[in-house]
């Protein structure tokens, strides 16, 4: 997951080359990364359990972020009634998908949304944010599991994470060094156009290097797709920033020292993973559109 990059992507230049907060983020990533990569490499049940843990944590953070766990009774620390229900629905979704029932897992989101709507009425809370959260989290979790379970799952998910991490890293350093016009000042005042372009450029370069290292055809195409996925990833970052700004919070949580919450670390992946699944489906359904080199 996106735990290796800095949260202040595309920020304005500052004097110090490496801040203490960035050092904390790097140290936290070095501690967590081996376990995450091990489960990712194992795949199968190990990767499904990793996604399940992330889904539960994100459900709690979303409920707390959107004030569900603040306005109502809390369970297990940070889960409100709707957050707990969202976590259970996501676990059921992942279980169905893991055991080969991806279609039923996708369909389960509809009655899950209905259940959250009914619970919202009982708890006298607007249903918008709980239902939005279910799809915001559920679709990417199912997408990641589908990608990893595919014939080239290791390569596909590796490329996805490489693109998101490279984009965040390139955006962070390009934004600090170059600065310039703001990208979306009302949503995220620290982000700049130079950071966005720097992130897309590094994602394209990393994709090209991966294609060369793996002996894949279509190096230029993979680089172009890497830049496109990087753009989608930054859209996810901006979307989460908009939600946080709406609720006047800085981070979605404090799970990882220097990194904030789980949502803060995977905001780009949550948008990029479904986009990659759509690319894969397009390549399968329309061979003439087959642009992925695997």
Q: Are 2 and 168 in contact (CB under 8 A)?
A: yes
CA angle 270, 48, 5 (to 5 degrees): 40
Tell me the backbone φ, ψ of residue 5, rounded to 5 degrees: -105, 170
Residues 6+ away with beta carbon under 8 Å from 197: 174
Nearest to 229 by CA among 139, 152, 172, 156: 156
- Give the residues across from 80 on adjacent strands: 74
Bridge partners for 20 per DSSP:
none
Predicted pLDDT at 74: 59
pLDDT of 11 reads 43
Q: Which two tokens stand for residue 258?
A: 């220097």
Q: Are 160 and 269 in contact (CB under 8 A)?
A: yes
Residues 6 or more apart in contact with residue 1 via CB below 8 angstroms? 36, 54, 161, 262, 265, 266, 269
Both tokens of 187, joined, read: 């949503």
pLDDT by residue, tens only, the chain of 294 residues: 444 344 444 444 444 444 555 565 566 556 566 777 777 888 899 999 999 999 999 999 999 898 866 665 556 556 788 999 999 999 999 999 999 999 999 999 999 999 999 999 998 888 999 999 999 999 999 999 999 998 889 999 999 999 999 999 999 999 989 988 999 998 988 899 999 999 999 999 999 999 999 999 889 999 999 999 999 999 999 999 999 999 988 877 656 554 567 898 899 999 999 999 999 888 777 666 667 877
H/E segment holding residue 125: none
Q: Which pLDDT does position 28 carry in this prediction?
A: 52
Beta bridge partners of 74: 80
Q: How far apart are the first and last CA of the chain?
A: 22
Given phi > 0 = left and psi -120 to 50 = alpha, else beta, which region is 285?
alpha
Coil, strand or helix at 191 = strand
Rg over CA atoms, the chain:
19
pLDDT for 9 equals 42
Alpha-carbon distance of 77 to 204, in angstroms, equals 41
What's the pLDDT at 8?
43
Per-residue tokens: 168: 């965040």
DSSP 8-state assignment for residue 11 = P
């Amino acid at each position: 997951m996106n735990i290796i990059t800095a949260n202040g992507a595309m920020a304005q230049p500052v004097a110090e080359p490496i801040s203490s907060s960035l050092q904390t983020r790097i140290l936290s990533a070095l501690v967590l990364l081996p376990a995450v990569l091990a489960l990712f490499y194992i795949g199968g049940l190990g990767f499904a359990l990793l996604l399940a843990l992330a889904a539960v944590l994100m459900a709690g953070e979303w409920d707390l972020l959107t004030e569900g766990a603040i306005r109502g009774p809390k369970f297990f620390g940070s889960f409100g009634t709707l957050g707990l229900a969202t976590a259970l629905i996501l676990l059921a979704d992942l279980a169905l998908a893991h055991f080969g029932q991806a279609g039923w897992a996708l369909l389960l989101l509809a009655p899950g949304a209905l259940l959250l709507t009914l619970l919202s009425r009982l708890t006298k809370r607007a249903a918008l944010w709980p239902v939005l959260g279910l799809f915001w989290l559920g679709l990417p979790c199912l997408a990641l599991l589908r990608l990893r379970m595919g014939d080239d799952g290791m390569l596909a998910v590796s490329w996805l994470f490489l693109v998101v991490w490279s984009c965040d890293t390139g955006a962070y350093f390009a934004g600090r060094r170059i600065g310039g016009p703001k990208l979306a000042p009302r949503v995220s005042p620290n982000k700049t156009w130079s950071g966005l372009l720097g992130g897309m450029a590094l994602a394209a370069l990393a994709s090209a290097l991966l294609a060369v290292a793996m002996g894949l055809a279509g190096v230029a195409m993979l680089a172009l797709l890497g830049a496109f996925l990087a753009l989608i990833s930054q859209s996810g970052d901006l979307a989460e920033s908009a939600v946080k700004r709406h609720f006047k919070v800085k981070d979605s949580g404090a799970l990882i020292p220097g990194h904030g919450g789980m949502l803060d670390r995977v905001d780009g992946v949550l948008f990029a993973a479904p986009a990659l699944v759509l690319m894969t489906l397009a390549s399968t359904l329309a061979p003439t559109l087959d642009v992925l080199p695997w």
